[in-house]
Structure 1
């Protein structure tokens, strides 16, 4: 049996699950710089601009969920949170509306969890895509791993984070 090529489009080929672990307090996403700057000025997200900019992702999530795939995102955050995390929190309702499940874990409650060294996606408990960032939060490289010990580490870390984390609807920004 040949091994599945996860690099093609895992969001289209996943069969049961997609989990995303985020551990940074700031991301340098060029495509959202203008929206983030506007949010910093006004304290509000522009729903029309957000909807247009995030339409592709929201469609992807809705399609995955309609295929029966559980899409879960856990964010480990420092408290008090950064302005970027406030911005993310303010826009998370759209993720929930698309069917994604999102939880937040204060970093102090994650201190005793053996965590991978960087953010990641894992699909179907079979393949992990690690994302490596520069110091200012820009993506510099991605790497796929499928070794059983890597899968086991990621699964255990994510499930521990998920169990301790607070559902988005209940998480209050500090």
Structure 2
């Protein structure tokens, strides 16, 4: 198994694209989510300034950073949280984000795990426990696997609704 570089290193080395496919309805239920759930307020730029700086730097170098989320509807509380922070954090940093209701993804061949695909060659596969906690990561450079993931991402991206237009119920 290949050693897993830091995410920052992978994004900083990307030259053209960084595509992220998320397929879960809940992730690590950290303090940010708990604070949002308790009072409905969160300033994402203050909460995650490193993310904003990292993504905006990549975008300014010409890297297309795209995130597609496959979600169940009605959406979970966690997805509502993600939706609310996406505009002020991800979109403002330069990410393009789209949302695809799970019912519209039935005929798309999807990989079993969330991933980041850098320059269509290097995959960072994220592994999660049932409760959303991250259990591990791996790097995959097999061209056939990269092609499968690129194809899945492209199909999801084509069907998904841009963040600015997606209105959760």
Q: What's the offset of the Cα at 1:6? A: 7.3
SS at match of 2:33: helix
* Alignment equivalent of 1:107, drawn from 96, 102, 109: 102
Q: Deviations over 1:105-146 (max 9, x none)?
A: 000000110001011000000110110101100110111111
Q: What's the offset of the Cα at 1:28? A: 1.5
Give the equivalent residue in structure 2 for 1:7: 5
Give the equivalent residue in structure 2 for 1:161: 156
Q: What's the offset of the Cα at 1:89? A: 0.2
SS at match of 2:109: coil
Q: Distance in 2 between matches of 1:90 and 1:134?
A: 24
Q: Is the 8 A contact 2:115 2:126 kept in 1?
A: yes
Q: TM-score, normalised by structure 1?
A: 0.90
Q: Distance in 2 between matches of 1:35 and 1:129?
A: 24
SS at match of 1:170: coil
* Alignment equivalent of 1:89, drawn from 71, 83, 88: 83
The reply on whether 1:23 has 2:23 as its aligned counterpart is: yes
Q: Deviations over 1:81-105 (max 9, x none)?
A: 0000000000011211110000000
Q: Comparing 94-103 with 8-17, which one deviates more in the overlay?
A: 8-17
Point out where structure 2 has 5 or more consecutive residues left out of the alignment. Answer: none
The reply on whether 1:46 has 2:42 as its aligned counterpart is: yes
SS at match of 2:48: helix
Q: Deviations over 1:14-35 (max 9, x none)?
A: 1000000000000014xxx222
Number of residue pairs aligned between Structure 1 and Structure 2: 164
Matches within 5 A, 1:52-91: 52-91=46-85
Q: Distance in 2 between matches of 1:162 and 1:114?
A: 13
Q: TM-score, normalised by structure 2?
A: 0.93
- RMSD (CA atoms): 1.4
SS at match of 2:18: strand
Point out where structure 1 has 5 or more consecutive residues left out of the alignment. Answer: none
